[in-house]
Structures are given as structure tokens and as C-alpha cells.
A and B are shown apart, each in its own frame.
Chain A
């Protein structure tokens, strides 16, 4: 009897705490896993930054497979989380159905556009940031061949590749750009072994700078580059610390800022489309103590000039997603 009492007491206490917690924001990670050191981890860092600053807490879910997206979003909405931020384009079709079910909850989706009255869609101008690291790659390359390893073969990643190739050719018109994709399913975001193989293949073909835009797969790419003594370029998060001395730079995609802003705006977040490019500092390249010796004054000056020119509109970086083609040939 007393055990029953204490059980009921505990249940009641839990029920009180459950209703007492008002509208925590929530974050859903995509399949690469929370600690992919890249895309998802950037989202995590943004949420942590917010939590540290405000001292408040948030909820999070790590997906285990594609079929769980509905349940994850519904669970958070049922629990009263608001806003619910999801990192990844793959949530698009799910959110399109879930958002109308919970009209009083605000949703934020990164990397996809969902046209619903309670959804904010955030997309990044990855081609602009990739253009800058492409320039750095071509300038640092001695062989004139630079490589690109993408994650899943989708227009979003081709946008990275195409911007990178355009930057490389802008800095060195004779540059050759090698490009490979890891796979065609979301599993390609978390396949470092295959990433490493692709990187080694590109190194054998003469690439001496390799840019990985592949989430968790990039870990294998950057490791292979470091092992072979060539330069690697990280993506999304600042990954320079992974292999100091062999990481040329990282293409920053400020997913962390996007999550931080969404959490800060809270329930009142504006629905609609938000585009973050160089001008908004949504994308860029990383410069810190790990790579400052690798980036010469000359390189920095050239890239900063290009950056200003892109913002001013003097250089137009072609966006692959506009027409599905790239002006620069990749091999």
C-alpha cells in the first residue's frame, strides 16, 4: 500500500513538473547524429549557446531512422515545445503535414522551404561560402587539382560543389576540380569509411586539397587527407581543430546562429523564408589559431576582396539549385 502511495505521489509530482515547464524550445537532429562534428553539431552548439546564456533548458531528439520523423515532431508538439527547430531538408514533406496539425506551435526548418503559416524556413547561400573556400583551395594547391567529397547526392550538396568549383577556377583558371558523392540516401551523411576511400581516390588522381561537405562522413575524408599529407577543408562547423596543420580552413555555415536566433525569438518567431548568405554572415570561411599559418596575407586579401565583391553584387556566384546546372566542369 505504501509503495502504491509513493508511486502515485511520484506520478503526481511528475505531472506537476510536466505542466509547470512552459514552452521549452526543442531541436531535432537529423540522421548524421548529434555529434557529427559538422552540421548537427553546429545546431547543437547553437542550442547550447542559448541555454548557457539564458540558463533555460530545451528538449532534443536524435533520429534513428527516416521513418521516425513524424513521431519525433508530434511528440515534441504534444509536449508543448515551442518553437520546434529541425535541422535538415529531409523533414520537409513531414513538416508539411505536421505543421497544420499543430497551428499554435511554431516550427523552424533549416535547409528546406515549407510553405505553412506557422513555419519559418531558413536556407543558406552555401555556394557563396563554398566559392571562398574554393579560391583558398586553388591558391593553396600545388598540383592544380582540388577535390570535393559530398554526402548525399542532392541538389543542396551540388550547390556546395558548384560554388567551390567556381571559386577554384576564379583563383586559378587552369584548376581541375574532382567531385564525388558518397551515396544517394541519408545514410551517406554518416559513412566515414566510404568518405575516406573517396578522398584517397582523389588524392591518387592528384588532388592536394579536399573539401568535405558530407556531415559525419567528412570525418573520414579529413582523416584521409591528413594521413596523406594534403589539405582538408571542413564544413558547417569550424573543423580546423580536427587536424591542426593539415586543415586549410572550414566553410562555415552558421547553423548554430540560426538555431540560436530561433530559440531566442521563441514562440513569437516570424514565419516565412529567411536566406542567410555572406552579407548576413550566415556563411563564411574559418580563420583561427589552427590555420593562420596556412592562409597567407595574399590569399586572405584575395578572398576578402571576393567576399566584398559578392556582397556588392559584382561577382555573381551561380546557384546550382536555380537551374540544376553548373558553369564549371567537374570530374
Chain B
């Protein structure tokens, strides 16, 4: 029996979590002597108030969709891929190599190649922890997070010693040639008021395609069925003839590939060069996005939009309210992650109890109305249902 209706699971619980997080954030804003209402207004206006805000909000959303989907796919196989940060950084390396070494005739061809290149690099970075998990039983959480550090060190080394432009002091690659410049929102949606400086670019549509791809993969293919079966119960999956090594490897490769594809947005679409720390923590935000989106592509999209708005609104808040420092913005974002991710059960359990009680009341009412009532049913049902948890 479902403990509560689907809409409550997908919409109501995340919504309550976010509201709680914002209330606590409001307290923090009060403590530093600013008005929380005004802060809220600035954040909302900053994220959605004009084309400039929308551009950045959707730009960040694109990043979070990719990393959120990456975590979600691994979740379905009951694996906790927290290496999105490193996989996305390596994806950036793939994009930079593809854009800098080959003279592309047109951006569309370059985009296709960059999608493949970033996915291959991201997947390759996920392959080693996946192999260690599948064959050696090294825990994926430990190995993926350690690979984040290796990725960061590798990127620093490459940017400082290999890709740095001679004569330049900044550790970054040369600018990509004009031919691989991705059309941004001012070119395909200029009528909405987007300016040429907006970071929102065609990668956003690639992200939406990725959502569709993940939905088809998980719910409409045999492989997706195997991944889900493996995630629900490894022993049952093995009994059904599913090969665990294959599932661990394949799901992690897809996960790493999706994380790597994030780079086409930031590296190719916006910065048009590879800089240190180009991921900006999106790999970790992806975890919260996947948790909040309940690993469903639609949920991931909505959660990514929320976090995109938080990032952009937070930047505006820091800008408009000098008393709110950059650390405060991190606190507010962390509170949302804390409430939606870590403290999920704090909201979930009372909600489940509430829906269960309501369900029972309805049943009891239905039973009372029925010609042959069974008064004990509701009474004995309660402890059994609670034991289920």
C-alpha cells in the first residue's frame, strides 16, 4: 500500500522542505540586521525579474540538470556517485581539447563532437571507481570523492604546465575559436529581451534532451529495468540473471558521461575557455538536486530550476545587500540542501503519518457506511502499517 499519494511525495514534501529552509534562512538574515522580506524579494526579482536574471538562472539550471541527472542515474542502481565534480571537470578538459585542436566548420558539428568528447572524458573518469566497486568492492562513495581531488590536481597541472597561453599569467587555456561559439539566448530568443551578454545558450536544450533520454533509459528500456531491479535488490537481480558487474559499470559510465556533459554549458557556452574550478560546485549541488527531484527527470528539472534560482538570486542578494556577505549566501544554499536532502525524513515521517491517518479515517468511514462493518480493521491495521517503516 502506498503510504501517501504521489503528488505529496513529488511536490508537497520538497515544497515544505524549501519553505522550512527559507524560514531558517530568514532568521539568519534577521540576525545580521536585514529585513528577510526584502532579501526574499531581491532574490526572487534577481532570479526571475528580468531577462538578465532569467539568463543566469537558466544557465545555472542547465549545469544542475546535467549533474542532477548524473547522480539520479547512479541512484537508480543504488550507487552514490559523489564524483560529479571531478567528472564534470574532466568533461571540461574534453571540451577544451576538442574545441582547441580541431578547426570546426560550424558550431553545430563542434557541439555534437563536444557532447561526445565531454561524455567520454566524464565517463572515463567514472570508469575507474566503477571498476573498483564492481570488481574489488571498494566503496563508490570513497573512490569517487577521492577522484574529485585527483581531477582537480590533474586540471591544475594541465592548465599551469600544458595549456597556459605563453606570456599569460592566468592558468587558463586560450580562447576557443570564433567558429565554435554556441548561439546564446539573444540569438535564438532575442525577442524575449535576452542581451548578447547572456550566458544562456543552446546547451539548455541539450540538457532537456538529456532529461528525455534518462526517462526513456530508466523506464522504457531493458537496461533501465535492469538498473532499477539491481537498485532494488542485488540478490534478486542476480537471481533474475542480471549481471551486477555490467550494471555497476554501465550505470556509472552513463552517470559520469552526464556529469561530463555539463562542461558544454560552462566551458564551451559561457567562458569559451577552460579555467580552474570551472565546475563551481555544481557536482555537489547535483546530489541535492537528484535527492530533491526523487531521481526522476521531471523532478530533477524542477529542482535544478530551484537551485539555479537560488544561485542567481543569491548572487543578486550579495550584490544588493552589502551586509550579506558571500559566506551568507553559502549558508542559505546549504540550508536548502540540508533541509531537502539530509533532513528529508524530518518532513517525510510526519507527512506519512498524516496521510496514513487520513487514509485510515477514510477507510473507517467507508467501512462504517458499508452494510457489513468490520470495526477491528482500522484498529489492527495501524500497528502493522507502522511496523513497515
Contact = CB atoms under 8 A, between A and B. Distances in A.
Interface in B149-188: 156, 159-160, 168-172, 175
B56 A71 contact: yes
A10 B171 contact: no
Contacts of B210: none
B326 A185 contact: no
Given A60-B322, A64-B326, A185-B156, A10 B277 contact: no
A13 to B, nearest CB: 11
A151 B273 CA distance: 24
Contact of B160 (A7, A89, A184): A184
B108 interface: no
11 contacts: A64-B326, A66-B276, A67-B280, A71-B199, A75-B315, A75-B319, A78-B52, A93-B168, A93-B175, A184-B160, A186-B276
Interface of A: 7, 10-11, 14, 59-62, 64-68, 70-71, 74-75, 78-79, 89-90, 92-93, 97-98, 101, 112, 154-156, 184-186
* Top 10 A-B pairs, shortest CB-CB distance: A154-B169, A184-B160, A65-B277, A66-B275, A90-B170, A66-B277, A67-B280, A67-B278, A89-B169, A66-B276
B266 A67 contact: yes
Contacts of A70: 199, 270-271
Nearest to B38: A10
B41 interface: yes
A98 B280 CA distance: 21
Contact of B325 (A62, A67, A75, A101): A62
B46 to A, nearest CB: 10
B45 interface: yes
A61 B277 contact: no
Interface residues of B, number: 32
Contact of A11 (B41, B159, B280): B41
Contact of B315 (A7, A60, A71, A92): A71
Contacts of A155: 169
Contact of A89 (B170, B322, B325): B170
A322 to B, nearest CB: 12
A79 B52 CA distance: 11
B197 interface: yes
B169 A156 contact: yes
Contacts of A60: 322
B196 interface: yes
A223 B35 CA distance: 39
